[in-house]
Structure 1
């Protein structure tokens, strides 16, 4: 990322996330506390605040990356980050709603290095917990004291439609032999980039940004979201559960057409044809077959394409950030988050 005009000045992405969690967690706990049992315990377990039996716990929390974008973007347009805590909490609640449901749809039984909520409490309880988090997010954002609360709730509603469309496409692609890169990028835009873009937009809206600055920040988040998904897909090809915190090569196991896979399958190479044959087998792949698939993705240049596209999306994100003319300290924070995305290991 050469040519970046926003020096880090000793601040790291992890420090920004820690700062975010300090502001965010009281609001999250207050929202979840309003739920009735047993849904409250399922949600608290998912967030790492308790064990399955309700005993207090201090497990590894979520990164709160999207919430960090909301707080930093409010700061970027000159507002105190505390004014954006409700919006940031709503973004984080929506994100965790998607995680609870995604784990069920994907059959992933591990989340954040512990059993996923559905595998502990059952599928109906986990679905209800996700629904409850979504309801809290909408209610809290609609009740925000800002005069623009209704507009912010509308942004969240549009984002939820994008999320549903992206997730639907992701599932549909599993049963298709071939998915174009354009289709796969559109899926990632809905499933991942839409929420990151809206997280930035909500922070700008809370901060009273002009339409121009708000759109630049939304675009920054959208491009960063695509980079985030690309890196996530690349990490999903690894075989170290200690790195991932969830089942290894889960996308390959379920036949998902992630971005590196789509790039490899459409490369026209011999490796692409052999990879397509593995995907068409219709059987749950063995460990050896998943290793072979990962090697074929690399051989067909899917991995290289994904890294190159990541760099392109990062450059576009940083250009949008510069165009938004952010306050210096917030520019520092947001640039640190960009660096965290491209260098993360989990």
Structure 2
């Protein structure tokens, strides 16, 4: 790389550093660190994995905000609102290429793992966008499968990279997918009922963030459940509008409560919480992972 190219590196990555430097509860980092109770890799290797996963996550957020039409990220204007869509997309690809370089330096097999997990992530994201843009209500099974791909495989990326530096050969992929499903379902639920509980969204953004998934037109579990009933037609009509009207959003939430869709979602979350804790015990126990689950339980 020439000196001239190096001179612009910092400027080219401004959309990335814009989000990187904003506040975050960083629950994903805590989950990755909890996996190390099982993996027992060195601090040096752990830091390399955390750097790879964090860079990749933020790069994906840059593109996600454009795809979702979100103007706020972590309580500040989204990167594309500040730097424009072209520069933000370019920075996203730029960082992903840096992640690939870091994978090659971390371990000879890391690139294969990165490619495998990335394909699953992209497929999960693609399904969600397809259902939204074509206004096709998925089945509950299809939706849960998407969550396992979209979020669970990001957790598995961290776990599998860590395992390359570990003597532990246990398969944690099924656990990672279930944890990802719970994590994303919880996030979707909080977006409707408790926006102040959302990871990466400070309390002063509660009003702006209130049920943003409805504004984005996303099919989430409460919507899918409500769509089963005739009265759910009103919910689907509101979803189709991608409304920003706070009163209409509140009315939609009331419909979801009245139809039992919110309670159904709470039941699924409780069942998943129980199943994950049982799986942690089956895998030999993990106080750090149990602590993460206790933190995530604040949705109740």
Provide the residue aligned with 1:171 in structure 2. 129
User: Structure 1 pair 344/279, CA: closer, same or farther in 2 (3 Å)?
Assistant: closer
Q: Larger RCO: Structure 1 or Structure 2 (Cα < 8 Å, ≥ 6 residues apart)?
A: 1
Q: Which residue of 1 aligns with 2:80?
A: 118
Partner of 1:10: none
Residues 1:45 and 2:18 are matched in the alignment: yes
In structure 2, what is the equivalent of residue 228 of structure 1?
183
1:157 partnered with 2:115: yes
Corresponding residue of 1:30: none
Displacement after TM superposition at 1:115 (Å): 0.9
Change (3 A) 1:68 1:154: farther
Where does residue 44 of structure 2 map in the other structure? 82
Task: Report the Cα offset of residue 105 of structure 1.
Answer: 0.9
Aligned partner of 1:25 in structure 2 is none
Of 120-129 and 288-297, more deviation after overlay is shown by: 288-297
Alpha-carbon deviations, 1:243-262, whole Å to 9, x = none? 36763221101211012221
Distance 1:76 1:66 in 2: 17
Contact 1:177 1:276 (8 Å CA) reproduced: no
Contact 1:67 1:89 in 2 (8 A): no
Q: 2:19 and 2:242 mapped to 1: Cα distance?
A: 31
Quote the offset at 1:283 in angstroms.
6.4
Alignment-derived partner of residue 14 in structure 1: none
Alignment TM-score, normalising by the size of structure 1:
0.75
Q: Which has the higher helix share?
A: 2
What secondary structure is seen at the aligned counterpart in 1 of 2:167?
A: coil
Q: Does the Cα contact within 8 Å between 1:74 and 1:205 map onto a contact in 2?
A: no
C-alpha RMSD of matched pairs (Å): 2.5
Among residues 117, 138, 145, which one is paired with 2:100 in the alignment? Answer: 138
Structure 1, unaligned runs of 5 or more: 1-32, 49-58
Q: Does 1:340 align with 2:295?
A: yes
Number of residue pairs matched by the alignment: 287
Indicate how the Cα distance of structure 1 residues 106 and 72 shifts in structure 2: closer, same or farther if over 3 A, else same.
same
Aligned match of 1:196: 155
User: Alpha-carbon deviation of 1:312?
Assistant: 2.1
Measure how far apart 1:199 and its partner are: 2.0
Q: Per-residue deviation at 1:305?
A: 1.8
Deviation, 1:287, is 2.6
What CA distance in whole angstroms lies between the structure 1 residues aligned with 2:270 and 2:35? 22
Residue pairs, 1:211-290, within 5 angstroms: 213=170, 215=171, 217-238=172-193, 242-243=202-203, 247-266=209-228, 268=229, 270-280=230-240, 282=241, 284=243, 286-290=245-249
Q: TM-score, normalised by structure 2?
A: 0.86
